[in-house]
Amino acid sequence: MEVNEILTAIRERKGVPELLHHLRCSAVSYYSVDRSAASYLAYCHEIGVGVECDPYTAMLWYRLALRDASAEWQQSWVAERLALLEKMNPRPKYGVGEKIRIEDCEIGTIVNTPNDKPLVVNVKDGTVYVNGKADDPYDRVVGVVALRLAERERRRENDGLPQVIDERFERNYDHCRLRMSVEGSRWGYRIAGECGVVTVPVGTCFAQRAVRETIIGYAKRAMHTIGERYVGQRLAQLSAETGLPYGEFHYGSESGCWGMFYSKTKRVDLSKHLIKLPSRAIDAVIVHELCHQISAAHDSKFYDALRTYGGPELYRYDTNFIPTAKTPADI
């Protein structure tokens, strides 16, 4: 968004909330905003034009405008407004360990537990938990949280994760199903056979990014539990049927491969996305890894073993599927 567009939107009193969201959650952030735009945004927050009156955010914009102001009259005016706001709204003073709750109209609930470490942001159960320095003011905390969450959002978009999540959210695979349940007042999930149920409190606002992050987190945990159980059972069954033993089993690998086999320890690592595949594909991956006991390389000896232990049907499926298949990043 160009500076002229910013100024026009503010002067016409149009799109101010959207404008603020853009400035707070984009890579542009607070720190490269034109001084005139910063002055206008500060004034909007100070008197509540198009947005809720927020003196702390107004002081932030005034400080930026004062830093970049070139004309003497502008420096004088901005400094006067800033001094008045700081006198009427002293920034909160709190000590290490004292929790501060911040209710932000876009982000939701922020709980800040100050310490002497750099600002850290975590999301759990729809609430953003922050550990920052004891002298961090509200405006800096909210600004950093918005930028960190925006970075997460961009990573999620690049990963193809779902951007629309509500009470109708569900995923259905051959051996794993996920659905949503709005009930009670607690977050969590439960497993019912091959179905994972993510539970969210009544009245949850699905539009908040922290809520969506929490839902996806519980859905992944439910899917992991179901996948580890089913894939572990199939590995044990196919190992017994083929007579190819294995040592340690690890489910949930993020290496980018469907599976890996370690010859020395006979450890089998299988991808966390394996549960999303059809039954035949899951069996193909498992037998493929077990056959690496015969040969660690993908040579003729290995494929002879795969044809022997997997049968012609699974052998043809493996040779077509394994080298090229890529799992979607969507939950």
- pTM of the complete model: 0.53
Q: What is the CATH number of domain 242-321?
A: 3.30.2010.10
Q: What per-residue confidence (pLDDT) applies to 29?
A: 41
Q: What are all long-range contacts of 61-69, with beta carbons under 8 Å and residues at least 24 apart?
A: 61/30, 61/33, 62/38, 64/30, 64/31, 64/33, 64/35, 64/38, 65/35, 65/36, 65/38, 65/39, 67/35, 68/34, 68/35, 68/38, 69/35
pLDDT along the chain (331 residues), means of 10: 54 53 46 58 74 75 66 70 81 60 72 73 78 68 73 58 70 89 89 91 82 85 93 94 91 81 90 87 90 88 87 72 52 67
Q: What per-residue confidence (pLDDT) applies to 199?
A: 92
Pairing of strands 195-200, 177-182: parallel
What is the spatial distance between Cα 91 and Cα 89, in angstroms, rounded to a whole number?
6
Q: What per-residue confidence (pLDDT) applies to 27?
A: 36
| The one-letter amino acid at 42 | A
Q: What per-residue confidence (pLDDT) applies to 37?
A: 67
Q: What per-residue confidence (pLDDT) applies to 30?
A: 40
Question: DSSP state, 196?
Answer: E
For 243, residues 6+ apart whose C-beta sits below 8 A from its C-beta are none
Residues present in the chain in total: 331
Q: What per-residue confidence (pLDDT) applies to 303?
A: 86
Token pair of 215 as six digits: 């839902």
Where exactly are the structural domains of the chain? 3-88, 100-159, 242-321
Q: At 260, is the secondary structure helix, strand, or coil?
A: strand
- 105-126 b/e (C-beta count within 10 Å ≥ 16 → b): ebbbebebebeeeebebebebb
The widest CA-to-CA distance across the chain, in whole angstroms, is: 86
Q: What per-residue confidence (pLDDT) applies to 207?
A: 76
